Structure 1
Amino acid sequence: MIFRTSVSALALCLLAACSQGSDIASPGVSNPGTPPNNGGGGGNGGGGSTAECPTGFTEGDPVGGFTTCNLSGTYLADLTLPYVAGVAYAIDGRVDIGVDLGATGTASGGTAATLTVEPGVTVFGRSGADYIVVNRGSEIDADGTASNPIIFTSANDLVRRAADPDDFGGDNIGEWGGLVLLGRAPINRCRNAATPGTVDCDNVIEGVSNPDAIYGGADAADSSGTLRYVSLRFSGFAIGNGNELNGISLGGVGSGTTIDYVQVHNSSDDGIEFFGGTVNAKHLVLTGNDDDSLDTDNGLKSNIQYVVVKQRELSGDNMVEASSVAGVLPASDAKVSNFTFIGNATGNAFRLNTGTVGTYVNGVVNNLSECFRWEDSAGNGTAGYQAGADPAFASVLFDCAAGLATTNSDTAAAAASVAANANNTTTTDNTLAASYFPGPNEAAVTPFNTASLGSFFEPTTYIGAFGPQETESENWASGWTFGLFPTPSCPTPATADSGITIDGKKVCRISGTITDDVRLTRGNYYEVVGRLNVGVDVGADGNAADGDPASLTIEAGVTVFGGSGLDYIVVNRGSQIFANGTKQNPVTLTSEADVTDTQVNADEAIGEWGGLVILGRAPINRCRNAATAATINCDNVVEGVSNPDAVYGGITADDNSGSLRYMVLKHSGFALAPGNELNGISLAGVGSGTTIDYVQVHNSSDDGIEFFGGTVNGKHLVLTGNDDDSLDTDNGYNGSLQYIIVKQRSLGGDNMVEASSVAGVVPASNAKVSNFTFIGNSSGNAIRLNTGTIGTYVNGVINNLSECFRWEDSAGNGVAGYQAGVDPSFGSVLFDCAAGLATASSDAAAASASVAADANNSTGTANTLTSTFVNGPAETAVTPYDVTGLSSDLEPVDYIGAVKDTTDTWWQGWSCGLEASDPC
């Protein structure tokens, strides 16, 4: 049964179990009622705690199942908050740690104290009037661990999570005060007539009064203690407009302070605001904050690395606000590397305000509003960008839906700053997976060398807060943060939860026809049930009456599977697929048996699901009706699909059907009838606007990739174990292909290339193929040249146990005997075929003449390939063919074969089955 239900009917269908779907057994609910570890302090649900307060603490009213132990007033001696299961510490009003020692540490009446908070401790406030101030000369030692973070939160949060451990607070903000650290490092905004940056320059911190809390001095190395593995939630309080407590306020805090692995979630004001100082920070997570996520002010000189910002859906101002005092030194000059900013439409990624410099490198910005609000007074205060005196950006991918800058910005300065580094981009969409993790577009940005910014910065080979090896469950923010990685849900309405899990991941089912853009996010498995149509055919001209285009995006690292040959994907004309993986996290399309590890013999497993069909509007030369080839009326029905037929062809040579990058497709293929079969990937009338790069097809029961006409190009193709032809070009295909590895199974495979077309019809099939390495068995030929095909094959290595050619009389111009320019041609190819040059049924004279036409072809030299497909001395000795005159879509090369030498590892890390250590 082939499914053709629409998306609107899909949910009902799945809930009623009307699809055949997967036969994987559901494991049921594991440990029902046990809350997950969301970084949280050891509450025991809604019941009362039997825990007792440590000696010296007064017990208060229980909250959210915790015994509460009160903190209040001013602490003049060191205080430790021990971890006791079931105990939380309640802030009662303003809690001061120590009394201000002044800028010199000698203020009369000043007293130093240290607040030590043990790993796993929960501290909470009941209202905005409850907050902690660590005064100058005193310290906080809140040194948690990834498995036992320290939690600063609200009473309401504890109550919510006692009722529901998965309650991340929604839009709740401002439920208690926050945390204020005050230090003696230099600032540039003085409350009195003092010289900025001197011992006499101090100021009053925002949000605190009665008495005022003072910060600033001249001790750049001052220490206010440690915040490590700290999650602070639901804070913020306004004394007046613009005078508010943030999540964490850092006033004049010095570089002796450690801030590492710190989250601020749902503050009613800023997440973290730096008021001057020299403190550095790493691993910041700023989520759901209502004003600015990261605010740098008053002459901050700081280094910051690894920052995640995620705004709430309906609130949040700027993700960075950077400001200072115009023309005063030290200027605010934060250096920020490796950031990922996810914003909404309520604010800008960067508001660059008065007198701020700053350097921002290795970043990804995904924002629904503008990237910049760039004030004329930013930087040196002179309109127009000046390198070295204004904010600078390098290796940043800016993807801002509303454009580069707001209308009231110094747009020229913003544009100049972005243009000043060649690795910045404002024209590339982000391809972040699971919201935060790098996809192919991020991986394509050359990272900035952070060593040039100073020794604080760790060297990185990527942009963004997370590296390519990190996943949702294995990354520096997992385990201790709050609500950053919610349990993945099935994207609606296109997919539905099957109630099944594999390896702990939810299985989402998708079928029918999707007519809206759908994104398959990382963290789930996706099961294709029946025929999945992406969009409805828009026709050759894009105006079909019932046409409805859509796109299917498959994030890096996602696995999609089918359970049988009836489960496959069809991307119809006018629609697009974006299966964009990375080298470390490829997209995988495979079978249920592969995913569940139930294959009897994985090495020989073929035809376990359907495959991928992409249909475009580029020219073809085989028409189903009496139309002229390569005209708008020339279309055809693709193989392997029926009820209804899937149609391709048109006249849009640069048609764009999307992108396949770092994608592996395995164990596919299905036969409706002999000669009418689903391949691994069928590309029918696909245009040159489509990207095919770093793609593998493994163990298809039919062809690996078949090109039915069209003009699409391809690079870095790996075709392994396919049962019919590995690469099949047909129906007037005119495209360029480069870097191709073909390796047949020992027990299967026909030709490594089959090239054919319609005799005497223009455009002829005329592929241009460079840099290929073909490793074949004795079951087929390296290249079968069939009716009406031309083609140019250069810079290749063929190692085959059977003949190199099956050269039909009808190949090329259809006249027996090779004719240069109208028959297939070869240049700089090392032919090593154990059974000879051509089969007995071939036009052997044409084959020999074609090979002899280029002096750099060889049929008498044994290959010296190592590790199956890596060039050795014989290959290195061949003079390569100059492809510059062959096609502008081919890269110039100085070697033959797909893999130059042992240092050339383009195939490694994402493909499978090419070396024993990496099975499929």
Structure 2
Amino acid sequence: MRVFKHFQKTLLAGVGVLALAACTQGENIESPGATNPGTPPGGGNNGGGNNGGGNGNTAECPTGFTTGTSVGGLTVCNISGSILGDLTLPYVSGVAYQLNGRVDVGIDVGADGATPGGSAGTLTIEPGVTVFGASGADYLVVNRGSRLVADGTQDAPIIFTSENDIERRAVDASDTGGSNISEWGGVVVLGQAPISRCQTAATPGTDQCTNVVEGVTSPEASYGGSDANDDSGVIRYAQIRFAGFAINQQGNELNGLTLAGVGDGTTIENVQVHNNSDDGIEMFGGTANLKYIVLTGNDDDSLDTDNGWTGNVQYLAIKQRDDGGDNGFEMSSTLDGADNPVVPQTNPTIANFTVVGGRSNAFRINTGHIGRFLNGVVAYDTNCFRWQDSAGDTDPSSYSGLTDPTFNSVLFDCAVLTDASPDVPAAVDSVNADANNVVGASSLTSMMFPGPNEQGVTAFDLTTLPGSFFEDTDYIGAFSPMESETNNWAAGWTFALFPAPSCPTGTTRTGEIDGKNVCAVAGVQTEDLTLTRGNYYELEGRVDIGVDVGADGTAPNGDVAVLTIEPGAVIFGNSGADYLVVNRGSQIFSNGTRQNPVIFTSQADLEDTQADPENAISEWGGIVVLGDAPISRCQTAATPGTNQCTNVVEGVTNPEASYGGSDATDSSGSIRFTQIKHAGFAINQQGNELNGLTMAGVGSGTTIEYVQVHNNSDDGIEMFGGTANLKNIVLTGNDDDSLDTDNGWTGNLQYLIITQRATGGDNAFEMSSTLDVADNPVTPQTNPTIANFTVVGARSNAFRINTGHIGRFLNGVVAYDSSCLRWEDTAGDTDPSSYSGLTDPTFNSVLFDCVSLTNASPDTPAAVDSVNADANNSTNVSNSLINVFINGPNEAAATAFDLTTLGDPFFEDTDYIGAVKDANDRWWADWSCGLEASTPC
């Protein structure tokens, strides 16, 4: 096992310094201005962050603040009582501000602002400041008419946390607190916006309808009124950690963030609540809107909505702890004494959300709650729904006038869709009401980022919603496919959202490259293996997935395994001896996405040590996938296309690896949005080399889409029999043939780009089949249908067609500085002198622009006849390709073959020849390399 030591560019985790400041109540202190240098205390670094500080800290509290007992090596400045007027907590490096008991901002001015004795206050907290409490009795209340301006930045979020958290992280800056909860109180914001639950008899939504908020006593604190545009301040780029407490009784707890009667004039953006002992955020009525919200590890409900809240949320990530949490959402409204809904009903619109957990229910929907839920992902190990009969069914037995919640473009992946709740039919009906809702498996990576299944869901068009709050998105879930663990809207200001990458089970950590773990994969894998994003994976020698189960699945000692590779994962080898073999019966799921392809490459490529990157080949082995679909070349005497007709694949030795069988629909998994670079190797002799991607006996149940093979020393892709279909394939710079077909492959291919290197390459296509000892073709003959292809090169021949190969080639462009065709007399001429029973390949709507149509091959007349057989083929029109492979005017003028006449649903209908219609056709972009200057290989 190779061990990596001190690879270049090892990332160093910086240790931030906790900065806080506190003030005594009632004093109006003028802020001296932010002095934060940009390292967030306890935030930042993609959900990590550091709360530094240490012995010898000489920081002093700002003028007007009293100094408390040092915590975690930080100077502590005290805040207590009521803040009247304006107070600012300045950022001072090495300072933290402590809430001593309940701290009130202002005194309640009432719903109309005229309550006697009321007094407005404003608490401003500068970016980078940390405010903490030592127990559940320490919490912050922003009263009606007052404002909290906690306006952090991505690089310097504001931290509300506990004394214990500061002390833990002073010892170990990476300490995320585990399952710690209830270490201080929380943040309560009270406003004058409408609510539906009145403390005394009153008309909901008016100034007379007010209530007292839960969790706050001695004295109680009131909220509600009639001002939908109430402005209670700004909470932006802020964390609230380890809070929550039952002030006087169970069920009357403090939430991490309580928003009660808060209006839409308030800004709530980029806020995280982590490990709260009650709800993460609870909305008691009001109209407040929220954006970029992270709720992690909360011990009751992550988001609790009640009392007539009618606001919006966009971009919401919910992740539960393994050992804590109740519902993802608990959602209630208000019914009157006759069980009719009270207006305003709780009716939020929540878009682009991801809920990951396994406790109770993802949604518990109660008592008249409506709500609209759009573009969501629910990955939940228990129930998606608990749906009360009072929730919203339009005609339940005991309720009337209720409306069901609505779901559009939501992927539900739960153990069960609903529990045994009273109104299961209404829940099922609501999910089934939109065909774009999907009940099926999720493919999230790092628990949050969309994989291929999420990207397969049609997103709801948010531009159709009223108002301007929602940003248009074309994806479901909280994060876009273009985001990653280190580049996303939550990066830099959240805490413990994404787990630090570690080597998964079945791999061994051997070091680092560029600060990322190197996880070695070796030997024969007989257990399912998942390669998670965020690491580099080294193939150590030949790596087998499973043990061959034979053509019929009953081979002695056969063992099936599944290899799953997450989007963005990188796998590498260091020599030609390092390669991957997926044996018969086992599967590979290389689940890349357009924005985060899976990459197979070489160690030299990762370390940037290639002497000549543009021509680097043969730096590791390659990928071999073996199936039990029919083949025509048998290793021993047998009937082709049966289970008895098997063969051993080229390039694999010690032991050899077999393929072939009778299952035309064999599934060896899927390879999508995947690059294979700098591979290929002669294992033991010339002619027995590893290709970039070898598919031998692979069946039509396998998905091969959006795959690039770049700079392979042998063929880019070689097909040894089978029935596999391919779509959106890019073959660049390969040193032998770009696409090699043999042994009875009968699949389809649509959209194929082939470009050769200036200094390497042989034929673009080399195409063979099998003849028997009497030179008759063996069935199945190699007979693919290949449509919408563009071939650009200058080495050997565009097509070398041998030994009984048939094939149909439709809507192609061949721009070749050598011969278009080398056509052996064994290829398929209907009456060559020495062969019989052969059929020529067919060309329809292909533009041939070569130095010569044919070389001096034995059967030139048959080649010419095949080209001339369709008047829509052209040999006298120059190509006008733009940027090497994109159609220009001459290609656009060509008459395309009507693919619908094939009667095969695999082929998409096109009205053009070539792989790329025009400059707007970018199916090849983002996930591939080397086709444009912005994405070099």
Q: After the TM superposition, which of the residue ranges 295-304 and 567-576 deviates more from structure 2? A: 567-576
1:785 maps to a residue whose letter is: I
Structure 2 counterpart of 1:870: 886
Deviations 1:643-669 (A, max 9, x none): 122221222222221211111111110
Q: 1:316-715 to 2 correspondence within 5 Å?
A: 316-326=325-335, 327-343=341-357, 345-379=358-392, 382-383=395-396, 389-400=403-414, 402-408=415-421, 410-427=423-440, 429-453=441-465, 454-492=467-505, 494-502=506-514, 504-672=515-683, 673-715=685-727
Does the Cα contact within 8 Å between 1:764 and 1:788 map onto a contact in 2? Answer: yes
Does the Cα contact within 8 Å between 2:829 and 2:838 map onto a contact in 1? Answer: no
- Could you tell me which of 893, 898, 908 is aligned with 2:910? 893
Residue 783 of structure 1 pairs with residue 791 of structure 2: no
- Could you tell me which of 128, 139, 149 is aligned with 1:131? 139
2:251 maps to a residue whose letter is: G
Does the Cα contact within 8 Å between 1:805 and 1:842 map onto a contact in 2? Answer: no
Shift of 1:388: 10
Shift of 1:31: 7.6
Structure 1 counterpart of 2:296: 287
Shift of 1:291: 1.2
Distance (whole Å) between structure 1 residues aligned to residue 610 and residue 50 of structure 2: 43
Shift of 1:464: 1.9
Does the Cα contact within 8 Å between 2:50 and 2:169 map onto a contact in 1? Answer: no
Distance (whole Å) between structure 1 residues aligned to residue 8 and residue 848 of structure 2: 53
Structure 1 counterpart of 2:790: 773
- Could you tell me which of 296, 300, 314 is aligned with 2:305? 296
1:812–1:117 Cα change, 3 Å: same
Deviations 1:615-665 (A, max 9, x none): 112121222222221112222211111112222122222222121111111
Q: 1:3-14 to 2 correspondence within 5 Å?
A: none
SS at match of 1:546: coil
Distance (whole Å) between structure 2 residues aligned to residue 33 and residue 859 of structure 1: 67
2:494 maps to a residue whose letter is: T
Question: Could you list the runs of 5+ residues in structure 1 that have no partner in the other structure?
Answer: 1-18
Q: After the TM superposition, which of the residue ranges 533-542 and 889-898 deviates more from structure 2? A: 533-542
Shift of 1:259: 0.5
Does the Cα contact within 8 Å between 2:198 and 2:204 map onto a contact in 1? Answer: yes
1:223–1:28 Cα change, 3 Å: closer
- Per the normalisation by structure 1, the TM-score is 0.93
Shift of 1:512: 1.7
- Per the normalisation by structure 2, the TM-score is 0.92
1:586–1:425 Cα change, 3 Å: same
Q: 1:717-756 to 2 correspondence within 5 Å?
A: 717-756=729-768
Does the Cα contact within 8 Å between 1:765 and 1:791 map onto a contact in 2? Answer: yes
SS at match of 1:585: coil
Distance (whole Å) between structure 2 residues aligned to residue 31 and residue 446 of structure 1: 39
Structure 1 counterpart of 2:156: 148
Deviations 1:517-565 (A, max 9, x none): 2222222222222111122222222333322222222222222111111
- Could you tell me which of 206, 221, 230 is aligned with 1:222? 230
SS at match of 1:78: strand
2:185 maps to a residue whose letter is: G
Distance (whole Å) between structure 1 residues aligned to residue 511 and residue 400 of structure 2: 58
Aligned residues with identical type, % of pairs: 59
Distance (whole Å) between structure 2 residues aligned to residue 304 and residue 650 of structure 1: 54
Deviations 1:130-157 (A, max 9, x none): 1111111111111111111111111111
Distance (whole Å) between structure 2 residues aligned to residue 32 and residue 137 of structure 1: 41
Structure 1 counterpart of 2:816: 800
Deviations 1:748-775 (A, max 9, x none): 1111111212122221111111110111
Structure 1 counterpart of 2:267: 258
Shift of 1:472: 1.9
Q: After the TM superposition, which of the residue ranges 884-893 and 588-597 deviates more from structure 2? A: 884-893
2:365 maps to a residue whose letter is: L
Question: Could you list the runs of 5+ residues in structure 2 that have no partner in the other structure?
Answer: 18-38, 336-340, 772-776
1:521–1:703 Cα change, 3 Å: same
Distance (whole Å) between structure 1 residues aligned to residue 152 and residue 533 of structure 2: 29
SS at match of 1:157: helix
1:225–1:910 Cα change, 3 Å: same
Deviations 1:25-67 (A, max 9, x none): 4677858988896418985445363322223323222222222
Number of residue equivalences: 895
Residue 195 of structure 1 pairs with residue 210 of structure 2: no
Structure 2 counterpart of 1:79: 87
1:677–1:374 Cα change, 3 Å: same
Shift of 1:387: 13
Q: After the TM superposition, which of the residue ranges 44-53 and 627-636 deviates more from structure 2? A: 44-53
Structure 1 counterpart of 2:28: none
Does the Cα contact within 8 Å between 2:5 and 2:511 map onto a contact in 1? Answer: no
SS at match of 1:106: coil
Shift of 1:21: 6.1
Structure 2 counterpart of 1:13: none
SS at match of 1:719: strand
1:702–1:480 Cα change, 3 Å: same
SS at match of 1:377: coil
Shift of 1:731: 1.2
Distance (whole Å) between structure 1 residues aligned to residue 837 and residue 920 of structure 2: 36
Distance (whole Å) between structure 2 residues aligned to residue 683 and residue 293 of structure 1: 47
Structure 1 counterpart of 2:923: 906
1:122–1:903 Cα change, 3 Å: same
Distance (whole Å) between structure 1 residues aligned to residue 925 and residue 51 of structure 2: 47
Deviations 1:561-584 (A, max 9, x none): 111111111111222222222222
1:32–1:340 Cα change, 3 Å: closer
Aligned CA-pair RMSD = 2.4
1:824–1:604 Cα change, 3 Å: same
Does the Cα contact within 8 Å between 1:616 and 1:684 map onto a contact in 2? Answer: yes
Deviations 1:66-115 (A, max 9, x none): 22222222233332222222221222222222211111111122111112
Does the Cα contact within 8 Å between 1:564 and 1:609 map onto a contact in 2? Answer: yes
Deviations 1:765-786 (A, max 9, x none): 1111111011120x21111111
Deviations 1:841-871 (A, max 9, x none): 2312221222222221122222222222222
Does the Cα contact within 8 Å between 2:648 and 2:656 map onto a contact in 1? Answer: yes
Distance (whole Å) between structure 2 residues aligned to residue 23 and residue 339 of structure 1: 41
Shift of 1:707: 0.9
Does the Cα contact within 8 Å between 1:666 and 1:697 map onto a contact in 2? Answer: yes
2:867 maps to a residue whose letter is: V
Does the Cα contact within 8 Å between 1:555 and 1:581 map onto a contact in 2? Answer: yes
SS at match of 2:480: coil
- Could you tell me which of 66, 76, 81 is aligned with 1:68? 76
Shift of 1:184: 0.8
Q: After the TM superposition, which of the residue ranges 857-866 and 172-181 deviates more from structure 2? A: 857-866
Distance (whole Å) between structure 2 residues aligned to residue 609 and residue 24 of structure 1: 22
Distance (whole Å) between structure 1 residues aligned to residue 10 and residue 407 of structure 2: 50
Distance (whole Å) between structure 1 residues aligned to residue 400 and residue 635 of structure 2: 63
Shift of 1:202: 1.1
